C-alpha cells in the first residue's frame, strides 16, 4: 500500500487520538523506511522503546524460540521466563525485592498507586505526591497523577488522591506532604515535559523525607530506565546511593514487545494485623492482577533484550554516544541562538528552542531524521542504544541543516 492508501484507512477507521505523520513499513537497526520507500534515521526510537533498534536479531530469535513453546498460559500458573525476568530485574536494581508484571507504563504506575493506597490504608493515608511537569500515563489515575493540566482537560472530575509539587524543589515537596500523604512518585528524568533530570540532592532529599515521614519513595523509570542514561535505571546515573521503595518500568524493557513491570523493595517493612511484613509482599493473592501480565513470550523477549544490553555493553555505549551528541548539540547552540538549552543524560537528550518545535520536527523528518517533541518547545533524541558514532554525527548534521534553513 502507498502512504496515501494507508492514511485513508486511518481516516476511515482509526480514532484520531494522535497527530500522525509517516506510514512506516520496515525497520532495521537505527533506520526505518516509509511506504513510499524513503529512509529515516530513527532518533525517536518508537518513543524511547526500541533500545536495540528495529527488529534486532536477539528479539527475533527470542520470539522464534519461545512462540512455538508457550505464548500465554495466564498467571494461574508458574512460568520459567517470568521467574527469571523478575530475578534479573531485582539484580539490576541491586536491592532485594519482588516484581509484578503488566503490559504498559500506565499499568505499571497503576500498580504503584494501589501499593500506596494499601500501604497507607489502615492509617487513612492515600495521597500520592507527584511533580509538576511529570507524566505518568493516560489512564484516569495516570492523568490524575500527571502534573500537567493539558492531559486532564475535558476528563474531569479527576480521581482523588493526587497532589503536586515543583520538581527539583525539596522544600516545596516537604511543605506539600500532609497527614494523608502515603507516597512520593517521581521520574528521575522527566520525559514528556522536556527531558529534565532530577538533581542528586533532590533524589537524596526525597529519600530522607520519605524515611522521616514514613512515606514510600516511588520512581517512574518507564522512559528513563532500560539503560538509556548509561546505567540500567535513571536514578542510578543520578544518585546511585538512593534506594527507592518501588520502581515502574515499561517502554524499552521489551525492546518493542509490550511489557510493563514494577519492582518493590523487601527491606522496607510494613506493619499489618499479622505483624510486620516486607513491603514487596503487601499485595497478596486476589489483590491485583493482569491477564496478559508477564506472559512467557513477553518475558523471554525482555530477558533477551536485557542480556543483549549487558553482553554488548550498551549502557556504556549509550553514555559515550550521549556525550558525543551533547558535545555536538552544544556546538550547534553556539552557532544557532534559537537553541536555548541542551539537557539530559546518555541517550535521553532534550533540545529546547526559543520557539515551538513542531516545524523543526517536521523539517527533520523531511530531511531523513525522526525526532519527537517533548512539550511544546523541546525536541528529544531517544534513539536505540545501539547507534554508531556515524549515526550520531549524521543526526547532528541533519539538525544543523534544518536549523540553518529555519
Ligand atoms: C510513556 C510513559 C508512561 C506511560 O507508558 P504507556 O506504556 O504509554 O502507558 C508513564 N510514565 C512515563 C515516565 C512515560 O514516559
- Of ligand 1's atoms, which has the minimum distance to the CA of residue 221? 13
Q: What mean pLDDT comes out for the span 202-227? A: 98
How far apart (Å, rounded) are the C-alpha atoms in residues 87 and 80? 11
Our mutation pick for probing the ligand 1 site, out of 135, 143, 261, counting the most ligand atoms within 8 A of Cβ, is 135
pLDDT computed for residue 141 by the predictor:
98
How far apart (Å, rounded) are the C-alpha atoms in residues 169 and 179? 20
Of 294, 311, 328, which residue sits at a domain end? 311
* For residue 99, pLDDT beyond 90: yes
223 Cα–ligand 1 center, Å: 7
220 Cα–ligand 1 center, Å: 8
Nearest CA to ligand 1 atom 15: 223
* For residue 406, pLDDT beyond 90: no
Number of residues that make up the chain: 406
pLDDT tens, residue by residue, 330-351: 999 999 999 999 999 999 999 9
- Of ligand 1's atoms, which has the minimum distance to the CA of residue 187? 13
pLDDT tens, residue by residue, 126-177: 999 999 999 999 999 999 999 999 999 999 999 999 999 999 999 999 999 9
Instruction: Say yes or no: 152 and 179 in one domain.
Output: yes
Q: At what angle do helices 296-311 and 314-335 cross, to 10 degrees?
A: 70
pLDDT computed for residue 255 by the predictor:
98
Look up the CATH number of the domain holding residue 156: 3.40.640.10
Q: What mean pLDDT comes out for the span 64-79? A: 98
Q: What mean pLDDT comes out for the span 27-35? A: 98
**Greatest extent of the chain over all pairs of C-alpha atoms, in Å:** 68
- Of ligand 1's atoms, which has the minimum distance to the CA of residue 139? 9
Instruction: Say yes or no: 152 and 193 in one domain.
Output: yes
pLDDT computed for residue 331 by the predictor:
98
Instruction: Say yes or no: 268 and 216 in one domain.
Output: yes
Of 284, 311, 338, which residue sits at a domain end? 311
The set of protein residues with a Cβ atom below 6 angstroms from ligand 1 is: 104-106, 109, 135-137, 187, 191-192, 220, 222-223, 250-251
How far apart (Å, rounded) are the C-alpha atoms in residues 247 and 239? 15
pLDDT computed for residue 272 by the predictor:
86
Instruction: Say yes or no: 27 and 108 in one domain.
Output: no
Q: What mean pLDDT comes out for the span 72-86? A: 98
Instruction: Say yes or no: 44 and 106 in one domain.
Output: no
Instruction: Say yes or no: 182 and 321 in one domain.
Output: no
pLDDT computed for residue 221 by the predictor:
99
Instruction: Say yes or no: 155 and 190 in one domain.
Output: yes
pLDDT computed for residue 273 by the predictor:
84
Q: What's the distance, CA 190 to chain centroid?
A: 9
Nearest CA to ligand 1 atom 6: 105
CA angle 48, 224, 94 (to 5 degrees): 130
Range of the domain at 401: 3-55+314-405
Our mutation pick for probing the ligand 1 site, out of 47, 49, 136, 224, counting the most ligand atoms within 8 A of Cβ, is 136
What one-character DSSP code corresponds to residue 149?
Answer: G
* Cis before 157? omega within 30: yes
Instruction: Say yes or no: 130 and 223 in one domain.
Output: yes
Task: Take residue 51 and report the three cell numbers written for it.
Answer: 533500545
Q: Mean pLDDT for the chain?
A: 97
Instruction: Say yes or no: 238 and 370 in one domain.
Output: no
Instruction: Say yes or no: 255 and 286 in one domain.
Output: yes
Of 279, 311, 343, which residue sits at a domain end? 311
How far apart (Å, rounded) are the C-alpha atoms in residues 367 and 40? 8
How far apart (Å, rounded) are the C-alpha atoms in residues 284 and 60? 35
- 165 three-state secondary structure: strand
* For residue 193, pLDDT beyond 80: yes
pLDDT tens, residue by residue, 308-326: 999 999 999 999 999 999 9
Q: What mean pLDDT comes out for the span 26-47? A: 97
401 Cα–ligand 1 center, Å: 32
List of residues 6+ apart from 284 with CB closer than 8 A: none
- 275 three-state secondary structure: strand
pLDDT tens, residue by residue, 247-296: 999 999 999 999 999 999 999 999 988 899 999 999 999 999 999 999 99
Instruction: Say yes or no: 105 and 239 in one domain.
Output: yes
- Of ligand 1's atoms, which has the minimum distance to the CA of residue 251? 7
Task: Take residue 141 and report the three cell numbers written for it.
Answer: 489515575
Instruction: Say yes or no: 103 and 218 in one domain.
Output: yes
Q: What mean pLDDT comes out for the span 15-27? A: 96
346 Cα–ligand 1 center, Å: 19
Number of domains in the chain: 2
Other beta carbons within 10 Å of 228: 36
pLDDT computed for residue 67 by the predictor:
98
pLDDT tens, residue by residue, 362-398: 999 999 999 999 999 999 999 999 999 999 999 999 9
Backbone angles phi, psi at 51, to 5 degrees: -70, -20
Give whole-number Cα distances, 115 to 100, 159, 220, 287, 316, in Å: 11, 16, 14, 10, 33
Look up the CATH number of the domain holding residue 340: 3.90.1150.10
Amino acid at each position: 500500500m502507498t502512504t496515501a492508501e494507508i492514511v485513508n484507512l486511518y481516516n476511515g477507521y482509526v480514532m484520531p487520538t494522535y497527530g500522525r505523520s509517516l506510514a512506516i513499513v520496515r525497520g532495521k537497526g537505527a533506520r526505518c523506511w516509509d511506504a513510499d520507500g524513503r529512509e529515516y534515521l530513527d532518533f525517536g526510537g518508537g518513543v524511547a522503546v526500541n533500545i536495540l533498534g528495529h527488529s534486532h536479531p536477539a528479539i527475533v530469535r527470542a520470539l522464534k524460540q519461545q512462540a512455538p513453546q508457550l505464548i500465554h498460559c495466564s498467571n494461574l500458573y508458574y512460568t520459567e521466563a517470568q521467574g527469571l525476568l523478575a530475578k534479573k530485574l531485582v539484580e539490576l536494581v541491586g536491592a532485594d525485592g519482588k516484581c509484578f508484571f503488566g503490559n504498559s507504563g500506565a499499568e505499571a504506575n497503576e500498580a504503584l498507586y494501589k501499593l500506596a493506597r494499601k500501604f497507607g490504608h489502615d492509617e487513612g493515608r492515600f495521597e500520592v505526591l507527584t511533580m509538576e511537569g511529570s507524566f505518568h500515563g493516560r489512564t484516569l489515575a495516570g492523568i490524575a497523577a500527571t502534573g500537567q493540566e493539558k492531559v486532564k482537560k475535558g476528563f474531569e472530575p479527576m480521581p482523588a488522591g493526587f497532589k503536586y509539587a515543583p520538581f527539583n524543589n525539596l522544600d516545596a515537596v516537604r511543605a506539600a506532604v500532609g497527614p494523608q500523604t502515603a507516597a512520593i512518585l517521581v521520574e528521575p528524568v522527566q520525559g514528556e515535559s522536556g527531558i529534565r533530570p532530577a538533581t542528586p540532592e533532590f533524589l537524596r532529599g526525597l529519600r530522607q523525607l520519605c524515611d522521616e515521614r514514613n512515606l514510600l519513595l516511588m520512581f517512574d523509570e518507564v522512559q528513563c530506565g532500560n539503560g538509556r542514561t548509561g546505567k540500567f535505571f535513571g536514578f542510578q546515573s543520578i544518585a546511585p546511593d538512593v534506594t527507592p521503595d518501588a520502581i515502574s518500568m515499561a517502554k524499552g524493557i521489551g525492546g518493542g514487545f509490550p511489557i510493563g513491570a514494577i519492582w518493590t523493595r523487601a527491606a522496607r517493612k510494613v506493619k499489618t494485623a499479622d505483624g510486620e511484613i516486607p513491603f514487596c509482599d503487601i499485595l497478596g493473592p486476589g489483590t491485583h492482577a493482569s491477564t496478559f501480565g508477564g506472559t512467557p513470550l513477553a518475558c523471554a523477549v525482555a530477558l533477551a533484550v536485557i542480556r543483549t544490553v549487558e553482553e554488548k555493553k550498551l549502557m556504556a555505549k549509550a553514555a559515550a554516544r550521549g556525550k558525543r551528541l551533547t558535545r555536538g548539540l552544544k556546538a550547534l547552540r553556539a552557532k544557532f541562538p534559537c537553541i536555548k538549552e541542551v539537557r539530559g543524560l546518555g541517550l535521553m537528550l532534550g533540545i529546547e528552542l526559543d520557539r515551538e518545535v513542531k516545524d523543526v520536527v517536521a523539517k527533520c523528518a523531511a530531511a531523513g531524521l525522526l525526532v519527537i517533541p517533548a512539550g511544546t518547545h523541546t525536541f528529544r533524541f531517544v534513539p536505540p542504544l545501539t547507534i554508531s558514532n556515524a549515526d550520531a554525527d549524521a543526526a547532528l548534521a541533519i539538525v544543523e541543516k534544518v536549523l540553518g534553513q529555519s
